[in-house]
Homo-oligomer: A and B are copies of this chain.
Amino acid sequence: MTIWEKQYEVLGNVLSDRGVDVEAAKESLKQQVIELPSWGVGNSGTRYGVFREDGAARNIWDKIEDCAEIHRVVGVCPVMASHVLWDVTDDGRYTPVRDYAAERGLRIGTVHPNTFMGQEFRLGSVCSPDEATRTSTIEHFIDCVRITREMGSQVIGIWLADGTNYPGQDHLRTRKHRLFEGLKALYDAMDPDMTLAVEYKYFEPGFYTTDLMDWGMSFMMCSRLGERAKVLVDVGHHPPNANIEHIVSILLDEGRLGGFHLNDRKYGDDDLMAGTVNPLQLFAIYDQLVDAARDPATSAGAADVIYMLDQSHNVEPSIEGIIQSVMNTQTAFAKALLVERDKLTAAQQVGDVILANRTLMEAYELDVQPLLKQMRVEMGRHPDPIIAYREDGYARKISQERAGAGIGALGG
């Protein structure tokens, strides 16, 4: 019996003592699907430059290989999200992408139109004062519906880089109207089984206004578009010190939480590995999700939430960074699954602030690594995916095969 197995055994005792069902928690962990960002395995950087890795994915086929490798070691990532302009194919056909992914054990998840890579987007895409740009953006949207269909996906994720840099630059109410028209054109073009996830961002690349700047704005747009429009929460897209779990709770209550771009940040949209700056926040977000999943009023919506990673690696190797993000996300989720909810509710109802906070924190303070290792072993994986990855030779292989690549675009 290894040490972590002993730890797992004792943890099981602790949890059964608390009346927490460890098997159910493990089952939830096994069933969580985390989408991998195709744009996360290529080169990325800051505006100061791109750090190139020898093994960086050169094209959509490499990205599928890399995501398949990640899934191989973590076991919970059979889906790859796509950013269409970074994932172009030579002939504009995407059924081969779907097939190639399927061969590697993957399906394509959320498909993201791209409305910022191009000189015509200097003043925005659907919100631009330039009518031709608005028109061509909408054409791109409609083409993305086709691409999504060909890729076998039912979810389109939209982030607009639209905004302004200076007071007076554009007419804000008019931009709001253009925004709705653009989103409506996309929504109306979608197949009936497709869902739209509308992302918001506090700032960047617009430095005065962002047309979709917060959850309130995305929520307003989604409410008017229809039932299949939901809000996408990118953890890094908020004002300093925002309470993201609170926003998540509201969207869950409204049945309008589409999904997440998971990462972490301290300052701006730093796109760091998930759970590295404030793991308590990631836990608190998952706590809302677990709680909503147990409430009949919100469980259906909670079950549909999509979990995507969205990170931009500058200093760590891309694939390792993504694997670590998956692991950190699982850590947060596991702890949230172990909260003693009846005890928590009872403390909340009588206003026992100390006990309520402690009850939540008693789950947070648990060491869930043994539980996660056990879950991975049960799924036929190595207990530590980073070690598995470092040992299996994949990094060396792609480093050799892809040498000389790295003229990749900047990460999103």
Contact = CB atoms under 8 A, between A and B. Distances in A.
Interface in A273-288: 273, 276-281, 284, 287-288
Nearest to A357: B166
Which range contains the number of A residues in contact with the other chain? Answer: 35 or more
Contacts of A213: 243, 246
A169 B357 contact: yes
Interface centre among A7, A13, A272 (most CB of B within 10 A): A7
Interface in A380-409: 386, 409
A241 B217 contact: no
Contacts of A6: 10, 13
A48 to B, nearest CB: 5
Contacts of A171: 291, 345, 348
A369 B11 CA distance: 13
Contact of A360 (B168, B292, B368): B168
A320 interface: yes
25 contacts: A3-B13, A3-B17, A47-B205, A49-B410, A122-B314, A123-B315, A128-B351, A164-B315, A165-B270, A165-B353, A166-B272, A166-B353, A167-B276, A168-B359, A170-B348, A172-B250, A202-B267, A204-B267, A207-B267, A208-B277, A209-B246, A216-B217, A220-B254, A239-B239, A365-B369
Given A14-B3, A242-B239, A250 B315 contact: no
A354 B122 contact: no
Given A46-B204, A49-B410, 17 more contacts: A47-B205, A130-B351, A165-B270, A166-B357, A167-B280, A167-B357, A169-B356, A173-B291, A202-B267, A203-B266, A214-B216, A220-B254, A240-B241, A241-B241, A243-B266, A278-B280, A367-B367
A240 B265 CA distance: 12
A307 interface: no
A152 interface: no
Given A173-B249, A207-B265, A272 B217 contact: no
Contacts of A215: 216
B202 A117 contact: no
B173 A295 contact: yes
Interface of A: 3, 6-7, 10, 13-14, 17, 45-49, 51-52, 116-119, 122-123, 128-130, 161, 164-173, 176-177, 202-205, 207-209, 213-217, 219-220, 239-243, 245-246, 249-250, 252-254, 265-268, 270, 272-273, 276-281, 284, 287-288, 291-292, 295, 298, 312, 314-317, 320-321, 324, 331, 344-345, 348-351, 353-354, 356-361, 364-369, 386, 409-412
A13 B202 CA distance: 42
A166 B356 contact: yes
A279 B280 contact: yes
A343 to B, nearest CB: 11
Nearest to A240: B240
B348 A276 contact: no
Task: Pick the most buried of A128, A130, A242: most chain B CB atoms within 10 A of its CB.
Answer: A242
A241 B243 contact: no
A58 to B, nearest CB: 17
Contact of A411 (B47, B268, B287): B47
Contacts of A168: 287, 344, 348, 356-357, 359-361
Nearest to A252: B173
Contact of A358 (B3, B298, B386): B386
A102 to B, nearest CB: 30
